[in-house]
Structure 1
Amino acid sequence: MFSRLWQVNWVFVLLVCALAGVGYIALYSAGGGSARAFAQPQLLRFGFGLPMMIGVALISPRLLRLLSVPIYLGAIALLVLVLKMGHVGKGAERWINLGGFQFQPSEFAKIALVLALATWFQRVSRRKLGNPLQLLIPAALTLLPVVLILKEPNLGTAVIVGVIGASLIFAAGMRWWQIILLVAPIPFMGHFVYDHLHDYQKARIDTFLHPEHDPLGAGYNILQSKIALGSGGMWGEGYLHGSQGQLNFLPEKQTDFIFTMIGEEWGYAGGLTVIILLSLVTLAGMLMSLRCRSRFGRLLALGISMDFFLYCAVNLSMVMGAIPVGGVPLPLISYGGSAMLTMMFGFGLLLSTWVHRDDPDTPRNSQGSGYS
């Protein structure tokens, strides 16, 4: 096992550490120049997550496939548990208390779904996927956590889970005509979905369209975010000198709107640097996916990379006012234990596909030879 340690993609590990470093610097500022509030706890979590990530990277794909079913079932059980005895925060039940640690099962459910779908498609050939009945099980595997997460309610994460599942189904060999059949009803479901949203979710959509109608209420967050980003200019107002952030006009500056604080203090140059770093992590994950010989490894790496990309895209779009505010953190930068540790576990799975990239699917799936 230790011989595999040298095969870890250490460039990727350095990129992850760089992201965590950006998070520490930003959270130190969010704490008003003190590490105790946000930066220090986040650093301790990363200190635990880093060796966990390396340890997971050494696990063989065969063992991961064996563990995929119990991991998925465990994630579903946690999602059910959070509905029964979850901790209520900001109008939603999304957390459960595990030994004094607030854990958000929906974060873990994304990784569990990727593992389950990668394992399923490793056993099914592309030729068989031409039969729509073969898509019933992966569709059910995807819809079950989506429905449970919607009931919390957590619309943002539910959408991300659904997109991850759809992406893996497409990458596994879904036919174009099947995609058209699935996508065609979506434009006609908009009014139905809107009517069944919670009041606060409807308010977020209305605020997104017209934030100026309630500048001190529902539209406050996004308007302050735009003001802070705009005030940063090219080079920013200076570290620890952002007016909106340091004077506490910027809401949730340590979580959802951490990128806004970076843009205010470091300007366009700092924001662009963070976006480039996030893009490099995503690109590295995609490239590792392409290098895997096994179908399981390719889909697993793709799913983890897609999860990271979607969280980055949604958070950045949200704070810039391009989409409604949805409570989605910026991976490894925003403050939060569940999101960070789950992402580190996912990165460990991603690194495992790289460490074992030359290992074919075992047993060799002759029916899957058409996948390339």
Structure 2
Amino acid sequence: MKYFWNLFKNIDKTLLLLPLCFGAISMVMVSSTASQGHFVFDKYVTIQLLAYFLGFIAVGFILLIDYKVFENWEQPLYIFSLFFLLTVYVPGLGVEQYGSRAWIDLKVMYLQPSEFVKITFVILLALYFCRNHDSLWSYKGVIMSALYASPFIVIVLKEDLGGAIVLCFIWLAMVFYAGIDYRILGKFACIFAISLPLVYRFMASHQKERIDAFLHPTNLALGGNYQVWQSKVAIGSGGFWGKGLFQGTQKELKFLPVQKSDFIFSVIVEELGMIGGAVIVILYTLFLYRIAKIAYNAKDNFGALIAVGFIGMFGFQVFENMAMTMGIMPVTGITLPFISYGGSSVLANMIALGLILNVGIRSKIINF
């Protein structure tokens, strides 16, 4: 019992409390998408609440295990993660939603494997960069790290463009922290930019449509542009103070698409105004700052890399989701962490939080 108490004393309580704030906001705003004028405890709120409940149980369990145990699991974790991603192609198990075959049907719920593989991807890259730290000053070392990550990115790209981009940003954040030669990174960035037309050719039709819509934002005939236009109308009409909680008209008239998940930030700003949007940005900024502090104080490079990987994951997802609702980034289906509706997303984010807190509590001396 004393062991558990000493662990709890070392926990970043701010970082633990922030998901409670996000969760409360999520419950209210998910309910708002289903009603006007009052809170409704519907099935979506119930699922979201259950995901948070399971998530906090997962956090408690993860805190009891030293994150360094993963140092002995690299090969089986790598193989398991790849096979888990491929389960979406198993007949009778994998299902297609929103144009992507990225879910598996567990009968009681849909599960998105890529959400959970983001977590193992961070752990695997942290292990890889710890073993190959010195090689990142050479072209061969950087290419080998990209090849190590590429099977995950390629598989997820076929399923989900947004998820693949998140994995790329996780790799980029971690390779940057691990000590890559910036000149090499700059040259690879140029090669990537040049290769984009080739990447575009191999995208699925619905992924190409999203890119085309972003490049031609005034063409409402392109799929997605009408929805983004309505999102911008919702955000603009919210003004400074908003129309009032549960009083959003763009939301109520169903002009906003995928309100519970992809465009929930639009609902927030329409009803709570620029003030509400600013509060969300401040909360996420504090969240990322606390993770950065844990990365800085980590007792070893492995722990620091895990925290940095999750900064890349959460940071990009927050930016991309908010930016796509305002039309300054392509619509990629990336959800707003902890707030958007989605059992897989919430549970995976809570597991990631557990690992971050795990690194934090073990960066301090535990007295017995």
- TM-score between both structures, scaled by the size of structure 2: 0.92
Maintained 8 Å contact 2:158/2:204: no
Aligned 1:73-112 pairs, distance under 5 A: 73-85=79-91, 86-98=94-106, 100-112=108-120
Measure how far apart 1:201 and its partner are.
2.0
Measure how far apart 1:106 and its partner are.
1.0
Q: Which residue does the alignment assign to 1:23?
A: 26
C-alpha distance in structure 2 between counterparts of 1:63 and 1:98, whole Å: 29
Q: Given the alignment, which residue of 65, 70, 73 partners 1:64? A: 70
Aligned 1:138-157 pairs, distance under 5 A: 138-152=145-159, 154-157=160-163
Amino acid at match of 2:85: L
Runs (4+) of structure 1 moved beyond 4 Å?
A: none
Q: Which residue does the alignment assign to 2:185?
A: 179
Measure how far apart 1:159 and its partner are.
1.2
Q: Report the CA distance shift for 1:192/1:123 in structure 2 as closer, same or farther (over 3 A).
A: closer
Q: Which residue does the alignment assign to 2:166?
A: 160
C-alpha distance in structure 2 between counterparts of 1:167 and 1:218, whole Å: 29
For structure 2, the 5+ residue unaligned runs are: none
Q: Report the CA distance shift for 1:216/1:31 in structure 2 as closer, same or farther (over 3 A).
A: farther
Amino acid at match of 1:103: L
Structure 1 residues 279-334: Cα deviation after superposition (integer angstroms, max 9, x where no partner): 11111111110011200010001111211111101100110100111111001100
Deviates more, 1:317-326 or 1:204-213: 204-213
Amino acid at match of 2:101: E
Maintained 8 Å contact 2:246/2:271: yes
Amino acid at match of 2:10: Q
C-alpha distance in structure 2 between counterparts of 1:187 and 1:114, whole Å: 24
SS of the residue 1:235 aligns to: coil
Give % identity.
32
Matched, 1:190 2:196: yes
Measure how far apart 1:212 and its partner are.
3.3
Q: Given the alignment, which residue of 6, 9, 12 partners 1:6? A: 9
C-alpha distance in structure 2 between counterparts of 1:216 and 1:160, whole Å: 25
Structure 1 residues 245-298: Cα deviation after superposition (integer angstroms, max 9, x where no partner): 122121111010000000000000001101111111111111110011200010
Amino acid at match of 1:30: T
Amino acid at match of 1:8: I
Q: Which residue does the alignment assign to 1:117?
A: 125
Measure how far apart 1:131 and its partner are.
4.1
Amino acid at match of 1:49: G
C-alpha distance in structure 2 between counterparts of 1:284 and 1:122, whole Å: 23
C-alpha distance in structure 2 between counterparts of 1:340 and 1:331, whole Å: 7
C-alpha distance in structure 1 between counterparts of 2:196 and 2:137, whole Å: 29
C-alpha distance in structure 2 between counterparts of 1:135 and 1:212, whole Å: 40
Deviates more, 1:190-199 or 1:254-263: 190-199
Measure how far apart 1:96 and its partner are.
1.0
Q: Which residue does the alignment assign to 2:313?
A: 307
Measure how far apart 1:141 and its partner are.
2.5
Maintained 8 Å contact 2:10/2:364: no
SS of the residue 1:241 aligns to: coil
C-alpha distance in structure 2 between counterparts of 1:157 and 1:224, whole Å: 24
Q: Given the alignment, which residue of 204, 207, 210 partners 1:204? A: 210
Q: Which residue does the alignment assign to 1:49?
A: 55
C-alpha distance in structure 2 between counterparts of 1:84 and 1:269, whole Å: 46
Q: Which residue does the alignment assign to 1:263?
A: 269
Maintained 8 Å contact 1:171/1:299: yes
For structure 1, the 5+ residue unaligned runs are: 360-372
C-alpha distance in structure 1 between counterparts of 2:131 and 2:196, whole Å: 35
Amino acid at match of 2:234: A
Q: Report the CA distance shift for 1:99/1:137 in structure 2 as closer, same or farther (over 3 A).
A: farther
